[in-house]
Amino acid sequence: MSKRIVVKIGSSSLTSAEGGLHREKINFFANEIAYLHKQGYPMMLVTSGAVAAGFRQIGYTERPKLVHEKQAAAAVGQALLMQAYQDAFFQHQITAAQILLTREDFSNRRRINNALITIEELLKQNIIPIINENDTVSTDEIVLKFGDNDHLSALVAAMTRADKLIIVTDMDGLYTEDPRKNPDASKIDRVDQISSDIIALAGGAGSSVGTGGMRSKIEAARIAMRGGVNTFIGKVQQSLDLQAALEGNGKGTYFDTQLHSLSIKKQWVGFHSFVKGKIIVDDGAQEALMHGGKSLLPAGVITTSGEFHPGDVVEVYNNKEQLLGRGVVNYTQQQLLAAAGLSTEEVSRRIDAARLEVIHRNEWVSI
């Protein structure tokens, strides 16, 4: 199988500063993607831009802020955006296909598996899937948004076992400080582990047209890396820049990982599922989970919160409130409160649980 590439392009790279599609920009990116496509790379495009493309067509003077206004703008803009891509790729005799996803699709294992099957068939037929969030049905009231599709691109890259995720932005990578404010800031060329210090370097959104910022992109890189996907964040502004990014000479920062691709089940646990509760564990349990390849036992649990039942996904934190990962729990929240700190022998006598492990190692994903 040829190396699969996911390219993510945000709103600010596709539209004018005032809003509306910039056809020359879309044609440029189509040219870049088509060049790699013709070299045999299976290409997938995750795009933003529907709201930005549509709000002026409706008559709004600026990008809308209310949910129903965004959804109306997206309903108009998505058609305009897809038509622009179809026209651009048609110049290269390439067929493009539209796939609209929501956060809820990823949380449902059957729905996301169906989406994966569709993407696989499109790639088999040498068609470029163009993936966007379904803004007309997504809402802001519950946390289901993807952050200008940065997270969406990471989830797609991991799900399809891509070899590279290329996130296009208006900055040429990650810097020690904001280079727009401090000319002495240094660019970081490569990152092999995304620590809290790396995340702290990322700032806010850089454009009034888009909704993503460098922090959102760094968090997306972390998801992709955890799924075994190397990531590039940087500029693609001139001819063959996309190829340079793919080959290691791009204008940006590379996030390299030695991790293997997670199974679809573990991807669902780690990235797609809705979290139903929270477990706090002690230092011994943290070591066992993070470095020992062990299951979580009741003895290592300090306390819990939320309302969960066997088969639900919960997040696990250490006693410093640092997130360690997610897993499928085998206890109800009340059972686990009663079992917290007890030995497995004592738990087997007191608690009627299907399994003694709180979270089995095969259903655990560290973050």
For the annotated binding site for ATP, the residues are: 8, 169-170, 211-217
Tokens of 367: 């973050």
DSSP character for 213? B
User: CA–CA separation, 338 vs 22, rounded Å?
Assistant: 60
Query: Is residue 54 within 8 Å of residue 156, measured between CB atoms?
Result: no
Tokens of 326: 């997610």
Q: Which residues are annotated as a binding site?
A: 8, 48, 135, 149, 169-170, 211-217
- Paired with 248 in beta bridges are none
DSSP character for 272? I
Distances in Å between the Cα of 196 and the Cα atoms of 218, 222, 274 are 11, 11, 24
Q: Say how many CA atoms lie within 13 Å of 230 toward its Cβ.
A: 17
Residue 168 sits at the vertex; the CA angle it makes with 166 and 170, to the nearest 5 degrees, is: 150
Which of 190, 191, 183, 215 shows the shortest CA–CA distance to 202?
A: 215
Question: SS3 breakdown of the chain: % helix, strand, coil, rounded to 5?
Answer: 40, 20, 40
Which of 200, 152, 142, 140 shows the shortest CA–CA distance to 46?
A: 152
70: Cβ contacts below 8 Å, ≥ 6 apart: 51, 64, 135
Tokens of 36: 């790699």
188 exposure class (CB count in 10 Å sphere: 0-12, 13-18, 19+): middle
Tokens of 28: 């440029």
Q: Which residues are annotated as a binding site for substrate?
A: 48, 135, 149
